[in-house]
Structure 1
């Protein structure tokens, strides 16, 4: 987690502030290891500006609020390049992150690809004052996606199968994908694939889907948990050389706000969150009823005994 509700999710979350003034010491999730039950001040939760990440921020916020922790869920912020400085300066305290792309953002020379290797490497490069909590098994990776017609015409199952024809294809994706190490530079280096042109669109949103569907672009960056891939008959090309590293969902938090209680709540979410859950949650967001992200978050938390 995704496309058609990006704007709606942004608008809804922009207007939402979750607050709770519950006390600390008697909370059942406090593990008694010495950390205070309540962090000082509210935990300010941010997210990237695409529905899945916005929804994850809601899940974090509602679960913490249910345990008496004061939180504020802030409006989505375009991309990692835009929100990460807020984590460094303290204007943000918590975001749902993805291990592989966060590692590459922090260490452009990182080579880890497998889930545990990526997570271990990430723990070693997270700046002082920030902490990654336990990673979930849920994974949402970037993928090079083409239409079924393009896949059949070029007999392409993998990104490498495009190499001979990349010079004829226009690629679409978010602006930052053009320069990220595992974006266009990585595809060029790993697969020898240099596209004819790059079109800056949105973060796996309706602009990208529409451009791929109408032929404005012939290949695009979409997320593997995006239900519009299947809905439109698109093909997510295989990545046998692992240009895209493991991308497990993980809470990234201000260390000062990571009390024992907060860690236990967030780690409990990670223990329950699976890739299939992300697929199901994204499908709900894009369903005909178009439910609010906060409603979808509450239903998932309730179903999993987390509130």
Structure 2
């Protein structure tokens, strides 16, 4: 039986999982607009997608679609792109939330960037990170080259357009959300003030004085040491790899490293008031949340999913990450219900 929690219990988990205190409860989302056509008799099946965040979003889509009169539900179509995109093409599912950069790299036959949180296998425990979907090769050596941009670096819109160009004919992208979960370099406020840092262009001239903490895969990624040097002339005094994000954040707070590469939807950024350095030259692969749907998804359902996308911010992804990866994690369905109710148990 699913555990029932009060709002106070939800906020307690938010507070206990971080050092910076509980964030405000989410603002109650606006009601979904009335569909322009009546809901069809057939069900709308939503895949959970590759991460805990997309699993929560799947349940949010289902909740909003149910409110609009659809017979909607979340189904298990696997967490690998080969699985759930194949299910979309076969008509076994109708829509899934994904990340623009990783989706594009997969469709072009390259290994996606590792996610911040993997999809829970049973709604409670994160599953192991899946191996790279495509065969051979690592991350694209040059995303801009793949997109045909020459020397111009790829931004969000380039990647979203690229996804539409390479999706199978049976599939389409819907409206992307403002939310993103991409890699970024972060520093403490003290370090930002000491060196006058607000973006990676500021970091370049002082990079040699700093140690940068990363995950174990950073050195082999195109946006890693080679990308930072090429884009920003940033060559740190040393890179320090960590196998655990908590250890990496502790090292940053204790000044054993002075900068760290984290995903932007990591609760650790908010909890510790870390400063995210802007990436004006687009070194890091853009990762906007984008729904992928079957071409035959009814227009009325498309309107509902697009309305949800318009309301999903990076802060929402942080909350979803926090709730589904806590010591006593919430299921994606519970986290979605909390978001749908605006933080209130009614």
Q: Report if TM-score (shorter chain) is over 0.5.
A: yes
CA shift in 2, pair 1:146/1:257, >3 Å: farther
**Alignment counterpart, residue 253 of structure 2, candidates 207, 213, 237:** 213
The answer to whether residue 165 in structure 2 is matched with residue 124 in structure 1 is: yes
Quote the Cα distance in structure 1 between the aligned partners of 2:219 and 2:107: 17
Q: Distance in 2 between matches of 1:190 and 1:297?
A: 39
1:174-205, Cα deviation, whole Å (9 max, x unpaired): 63x44444444432321122443352536xx5
Q: 1:70 to 1:158 in 2, by over 3 A?
A: closer
- Asked if the contact 1:145/1:237 (under 8 Å) is kept, the reply is yes
The 10-residue stretch of structure 1 (99-108 or 225-234) with the greater mean CA deviation from structure 2 = 99-108
Displacement of 1:221 in angstroms is: 2.2
Report SS of the residue matched to 1:222: strand
> Does 2:145 match 1:145?
no
Equivalent residue, structure 1, for 2:30: none
What is the rounded CA distance, in whole Å, between the counterparts of 1:229 and 1:85 in structure 2? 32
Give the SS at the match of 1:145.
Answer: strand
1:237: how far off?
Answer: 1.4
Q: Equivalent residue of 1:96, what SS? A: strand
TM-score by length of 2: 0.59
Q: SS in structure 2 opposite 1:201? A: coil
Contact 2:269 2:275 survives alignment (8 Å): yes
Structure 1: gaps spanning 5 or more residues? 9-27, 78-82
Q: Which runs of 4+ in 1 moved over 6 A?
A: 283-290
Q: Distance in 2 between matches of 1:242 and 1:178?
A: 18
Shift of the alpha carbon at 1:251? 0.9
Flag structure 2 segments of 5+ consecutive residues without an equivalent. 1-12, 18-33, 109-142
Rounded to whole Å, the distance in 1 between the matches of 2:56 and 2:204 is 36
**What is the CA–CA distance in structure 1 between the aligned matches of 2:256 and 2:105, rounded to whole Å?**
29
How much is the aligned-residue C-alpha RMSD, in angstroms?
A: 4.2
1:201 aligns with one of 231, 243, 253: 243
Equivalent residue for 1:159? 200
Q: 143-152 vs 85-94, which deviates more?
A: 85-94
Per-residue deviation, residues 58-83 of structure 1 (Å, max 9, x unmatched): 323444466312432578x5xxxxx2
Pair 1:36–1:174, CA change in 2 (3 A):
farther
Q: State the partner residue of 2:308.
A: 269
Answer 1 or 2: which has greater helix percent: 1
- How many aligned residue pairs are there? 265
Q: Which residue of 2 is the match for residue 38 of structure 1?
A: 42
Q: Distance in 2 between matches of 1:190 and 1:290?
A: 39
